[in-house]
């Protein structure tokens, strides 16, 4: 489909949009939907009201040009790097209605119809990822706890996803980069806007070493409702979310609530009891709505095998008949990508669609478990397995 049609839809339909998602799921072509919005087709239903104010605002070519000027691209469900697995699991869980909490958010519990991306392919960077969020008014304790967590996660090939805000978010991104790991920032404004301005250098580093993404077209300013909408993507793209220093009404709690509603693992770091800076964390732990974690090892233990996200699926894996059937999703992607005749690590990474460091990490683990063999730089699998 035309990138221009997707760009038009991204401009005139501010996500999340359940009516647009329903039309796409029903098989309506994006070009047909774009044409229907422009001509005010009778079959638009609720989408007619959502696009009434913007349907004549056709800036598609300019938006694509503005994005290209800063090295960004528009990706859609048709793109190879679209994170289908993550979105299908998260929003599929939301659609089951099993979350009491999500009922108040139900209208927004749908995936984006397009994303603007700078940096590495998004599907690769979020294949094994954790959301780390917290207060802007971080204390020395919160910053140090975040640094230890993000460094430990990055060292074990977990991507750190956060919102790029000052405080805990910044510490999470910076620590992941310093450890040589991957990090993803989910912006609440256009991909060509630098917010907060103080993080301009950090955002550029993230674009060079990880991914910088936005649901909003170029030029879109950061506004309060967009931060809340952005939070659902941090939760949806990751296997779980951990909060560090969240007060009673902290915005970070909204991200944790989304993680809960989308079937992700919810975690919180306890803070000093002498102040109110971690009151939100403590309440979620007391209520049983978040697991208490004190470091990266706790987080990795809760999230289990690399890429294991679905509880029902894990029951099947736990009682699997063979070692191969017991592999997690990412492990199986790597195993299947290895040719019995031999493959180089880079070739495996490309075939599996995973970052090279994560691929090597999983290859070594599969060798340790006797499922692969290694001869120098060549990896092989037994085709009888």
Cβ–Cβ under 8 Å, residues 155 and 147: no
pLDDT at residue 208 in the model: 96
pLDDT at residue 305 in the model: 52
Residue 336's nearest CA partner among 312, 354, 321 is 354
Exposure b/e, 207-244, CB count within 10 A at least 16 = b = bebbbbbbbbbbebeeeeebbbbbbbbbbbbbbbbbbb
Indicate the pTM of the whole model: 0.86
- Would strands 159-162 and 183-187 be described as parallel, antiparallel, or unpaired? parallel
Residue 189's nearest CA partner among 224, 234, 162 is 224
d(CA 327, CA 14): 39
Q: Mapping DSSP to helix (H, G, I), strand (E, B) and coil, where does residue 28 land?
A: coil
pLDDT at residue 335 in the model: 87
pLDDT at residue 94 in the model: 87
The torsion angle over the Cα atoms of residues 181, 186, 191 and 194, rounded to 10 degrees, is: -80
Residue 50's nearest CA partner among 15, 23, 8, 6 is 15
pLDDT at residue 308 in the model: 43
d(CA 47, CA 40): 10
pLDDT at residue 333 in the model: 83
Q: Mapping DSSP to helix (H, G, I), strand (E, B) and coil, where does residue 131 land?
A: strand
Tell me the per-residue pLDDT of 133-172, one tens digit each, with 9 for 90 and over: 999 999 999 999 999 999 999 999 999 999 999 999 999 9
Average pLDDT of the chain?
A: 90
Domains of the chain from N-terminus onward = 1-57 (no CATH), 106-303 (3.40.50.450), 311-381 (1.10.10.10)
Q: Locate 60 and state its tokens.
A: 């598609």
pLDDT at residue 2 in the model: 86
d(CA 218, CA 224): 17
Cβ–Cβ under 8 Å, residues 155 and 175: no
pLDDT at residue 130 in the model: 98
Residues of the chain under the 50 pLDDT cut:
306-319
d(CA 245, CA 250): 9
Residue 189 CB contacts under 8 Å (≥ 6 apart), including other chains: 195, 214, 216, 220, 221, 222, 226
Q: What is the DSSP string of 161-205?
A: EE---TTHHHHHHHHHHHTT--EEEEESS-TT--SSGGGHHHHHH
């Amino acid at each position: 489909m035309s990138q221009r049609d997707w760009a038009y839809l991204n401009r005139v339909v501010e996500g999340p949009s359940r009516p647009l998602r329903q039309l796409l799921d029903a098989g309506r072509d994006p070009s047909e939907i774009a044409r229907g919005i422009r001509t005010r087709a009778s079959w638009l239903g609720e989408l007619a009201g959502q696009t009434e104010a913007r349907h004549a605002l056709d800036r598609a070519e300019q938006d694509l040009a503005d994005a290209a000027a800063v090295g960004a691209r528009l990706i859609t469900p048709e793109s190879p790097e679209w994170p289908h697995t993550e979105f299908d699991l998260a929003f599929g869980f939301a659609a089951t209605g099993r979350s009491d909490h999500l009922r108040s958010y139900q209208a927004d519990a749908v995936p984006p119809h397009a994303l603007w991306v700078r940096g590495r392919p998004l599907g690769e960077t979020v294949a094994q990822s954790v959301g780390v969020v917290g207060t802007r008014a971080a204390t020395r304790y919160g910053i140090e706890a975040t640094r230890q967590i993000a460094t430990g996660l990055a060292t074990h090939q977990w991507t750190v996803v956060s919102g790029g805000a000052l405080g805990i978010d910044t510490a999470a991104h910076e620590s992941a980069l310093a450890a040589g790991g991957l990090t993803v920032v989910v912006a609440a404004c256009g991909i060509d806007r630098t917010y907060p301005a103080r993080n301009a250098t950090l955002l550029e580093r993230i674009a060079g070493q990880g991914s910088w993404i936005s649901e909003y077209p170029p030029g879109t300013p950061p506004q309060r409702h967009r931060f809340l909408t952005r939070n659902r993507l941090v939760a949806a793209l990751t296997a779980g979310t951990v909060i560090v220093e969240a007060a009673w009404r902290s915005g970070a709690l909204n991200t944790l609530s989304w993680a809960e509603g989308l079937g992700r693992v919810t975690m919180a770091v306890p803070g000093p009891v002498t102040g109110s800076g971690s009151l939100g964390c403590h309440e979620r732990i007391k209520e049983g709505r978040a697991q208490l974690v004190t470091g990266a090892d706790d987080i990795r233990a809760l999230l289990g095998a690399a890429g294991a996200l679905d509880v029902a699926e894990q029951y099947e894996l736990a009682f699997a008949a063979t070692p191969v059937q017991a592999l997690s999703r990412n492990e199986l992607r790597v195993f299947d990508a290895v040719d019995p005749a031999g493959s180089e690590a880079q070739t495996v990474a490309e075939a599996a669609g995973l970052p090279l460091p994560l691929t090597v990490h999983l290859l070594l683990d599969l060798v340790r478990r006797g499922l692969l063999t290694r001869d120098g730089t060549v990896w092989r699998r037994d085709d009888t397995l």
